[in-house]
């Protein structure tokens, strides 16, 4: 066979997200660090994209995956179970609140959201409410990049190019007190952001609304924002009143990232479905899924003979399941959820030491999810000009300093508004935290010199 592609230049045939950029070649990872082939070291202060929680290079996780792959690499879940799948499902279900008890595995957070949306639809249809199909989302939210996930999501820049192909689902404003969409101030605001859900359900007609989806602690869209304590109890009540399911998207915030098993636990509220991904396997293999409540599973068993009309080839992949089971074993054994809570407070305090920077509008966060919102003017909260792409610029400067940050944009009005997320592995030490703070300090000074 002619070696058409063997040109001697490696990497030329990769279709990157951004074909205009060059990407450092990574050789290995260990703890919070990644190492390039050129010997450069990067402190992974964002765990990839708030994915890596037990650290890079865990022999234990890799060992579990190798053992599973050696035994059997693939057995389709429409015919078989594996012990790895048993353990992964048991461990995920054991962490879930309320009567959430059945775990449906998929390969990515977007697929998890698709699954949740379809399950909500099937639940209502099975019960004879065939009209209920709309899923209400929030503006300034991200639930994934597939068309269904984009439809419920509220990330303007990612939705816009595909809007004609997406489902026209309704959205309500995010509970984002730093820039309240209702011009109110908590606690005297009457929680208009939660009342907006009821208004939207009534406007759409409760007979058409299947579910409401939200990230309890908002991740990338508004950089680690925690809505007020009354918000989710109110959401739960409104959903119950109109027979709409409440889907908590825990893809980014689940498995200890915010110092609790799931971020909804901060409110003591049980959703009907949880979507998860990222941290469940700490990035060692693609794994995600949904946890469904007994209420939903019972309806499927009773009305559809137990069949969920959905499925993916790689759902419950044995090697991914083994990775997930091993990661959740480590998180439990090493008390990493508690570590995330306690060390998160330390990290937040250290980053708060940067609050004197004139470009910092707000520093916020919970557990090992810390957000920084950047502004041109901290009194008026005016964002930087969109064209300056400040969060991207800051991320690149930090990369040069050997620190990986997760940039965000659109928090001010969907398009402009820059933010940075910091979410390192839960194993991070205090001196490694200091390294992050030093790099941030230097890069923020540079940004301010260039732009203020
Ligand atoms: N939901 C949330 C809250 C997310 O943060 C993400 C990914 N950033 C997704 C869904 C989509 O997950 P994936 O990229 O694995 O499809």
pLDDT digits (tens, 9 = 90+) for 230-272: 999 999 999 999 999 999 999 999 999 999 999 999 999 999 9
Q: Which two tokens stand for residue 60?
A: 């234990």
**Residue 7 scores a pLDDT above 60:** no
pLDDT band at 100 (very low <50, low <70, confident <90, very high): very high
Check if 389 has its Cβ closer than 6 Å to any atom of ligand 1.
no
CA of 55 to the centre of ligand 1 (A): 20
- Helix (H), strand (E) at residue 289: strand 288-293
Check if 249 has its Cβ closer than 6 Å to any atom of ligand 1.
yes
Q: Which atom of ligand 1 is nearest to the CA of 249?
A: 3
What letters, b where the CB count within 10 A reaches 16 and e where it falls short, cover 419-435? bbbbbbbbbbeeebbeb
Q: Output phi, psi for 275, to 5 deg.
A: -100, 140
pLDDT band at 407 (very low <50, low <70, confident <90, very high): very high
Check if 257 has its Cβ closer than 6 Å to any atom of ligand 1.
no
CA of 108 to the centre of ligand 1 (A): 7
Which residue's CA lies nearest to atom 13 of ligand 1? 109
Count CB neighbours of 144 within 10 A: 25
**Residue 3 scores a pLDDT above 80:** no
**Residue 289 scores a pLDDT above 90:** yes
Q: Biggest alpha carbon distance in the chain?
A: 73
CA of 160 to the centre of ligand 1 (A): 18
Nearest Cα residue to 223 out of 31, 30, 390: 390
CA of 398 to the centre of ligand 1 (A): 23
Q: Which residues contact 234 (CB under 8 A, 6 or more apart)?
A: 191, 194, 195, 197
pLDDT band at 4 (very low <50, low <70, confident <90, very high): low
Q: Which atom of ligand 1 is nearest to the CA of 110?
A: 16
What gap in Å lies between CA 137 and CA 148, rounded to an integer?
A: 12
Check if 143 has its Cβ closer than 6 Å to any atom of ligand 1.
yes
Q: What is the pLDDT of residues 106-141, one digit of tens each?
A: 999 999 999 999 999 999 999 999 999 999 999 999
CA of 122 to the centre of ligand 1 (A): 23
3-class secondary-structure state, position 66: helix
Check if 219 has its Cβ closer than 6 Å to any atom of ligand 1.
yes
Q: What is the mean pLDDT of residues 37-47?
A: 97
């Amino acid at each position: 066979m002619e070696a058409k592609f063997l040109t001697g230049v490696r990497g030329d045939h990769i279709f990157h997200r951004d074909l205009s950029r060059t990407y450092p070649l990574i050789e290995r990872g260990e703890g919070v660090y990644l190492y390039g082939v050129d010997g450069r070291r990067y402190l992974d202060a964002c765990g990839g994209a708030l994915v890596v929680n037990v650290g890079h290079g865990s022999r234990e996780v890799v060992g579990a995956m190798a053992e599973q792959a050696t035994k059997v690499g693939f057995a389709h879940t429409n015919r078989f179970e594996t012990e790895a799948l048993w353990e992964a499902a048991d461990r995920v279900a054991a962490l879930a609140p309320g009567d959430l008890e059945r775990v449906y595995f998929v390969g990515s957070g977007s697929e998890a959201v698709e699954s949740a949306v379809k399950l909500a639809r099937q639940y209502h249809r099975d019960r004879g409410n065939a009209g209920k199909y709309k899923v209400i989302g929030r503006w300034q939210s991200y639930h994934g990049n597939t068309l269904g996930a984009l439809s419920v999501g509220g990330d303007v820049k990612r939705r816009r190019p595909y809007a004609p192909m997406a489902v026209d689902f309704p959205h309500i404003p995010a509970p984002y007190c730093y820039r309240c969409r209702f011009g109110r101030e908590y606690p005297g605001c009457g929680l208009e952001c939660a009342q907006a859900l009821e208004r939207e359900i009534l406007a759409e007609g409760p007979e058409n609304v299947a579910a409401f989806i939200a990230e309890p602690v908002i991740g990338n869209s508004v950089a680690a924002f925690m809505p007020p304590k009354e918000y989710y109890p109110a959401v739960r009540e409104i959903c119950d009143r109109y027979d709409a399911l409440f889907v908590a998207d825990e893809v980014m915030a689940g498995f200890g990232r915010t110092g609790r098993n799931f971020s909804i636990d901060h409110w003591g509220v049980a959703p009907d479905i949880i979507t998860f991904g990222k941290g469940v396997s700490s990035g060692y293999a693609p794994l995600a899924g949904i946890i469904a409540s007994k209420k939903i599973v019972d309806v499927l068993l009773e009305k559809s003979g137990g069949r969920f009309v959905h499925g993916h080839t790689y759902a419950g992949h044995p090697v991914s399941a083994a990775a997930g089971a091993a990661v959740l074993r480590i998180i439990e054994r090493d008390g990493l959820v508690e570590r995330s809570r306690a060390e998160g407070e330390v990290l937040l305090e250290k980053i708060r030491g940067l609050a004197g920077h004139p470009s910092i509008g707000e520093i916020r966060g919970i557990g090992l999810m810390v957000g920084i919102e950047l502004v041109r003017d901290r009194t008026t909260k005016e964002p930087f000009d969109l064209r300056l792409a400040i969060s991207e610029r800051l991320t690149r400067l930090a990369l040069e300093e050997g620190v990986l940050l997760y940039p965000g944009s659109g928090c001010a009005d969907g398009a402009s508004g820059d933010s940075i997320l910091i979410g390192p592995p839960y194993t991070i030490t205090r001196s490694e935290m200091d390294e992050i703070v030093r790099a941030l300090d230097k890069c923020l000074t540079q940004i301010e010199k260039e732009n203020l």
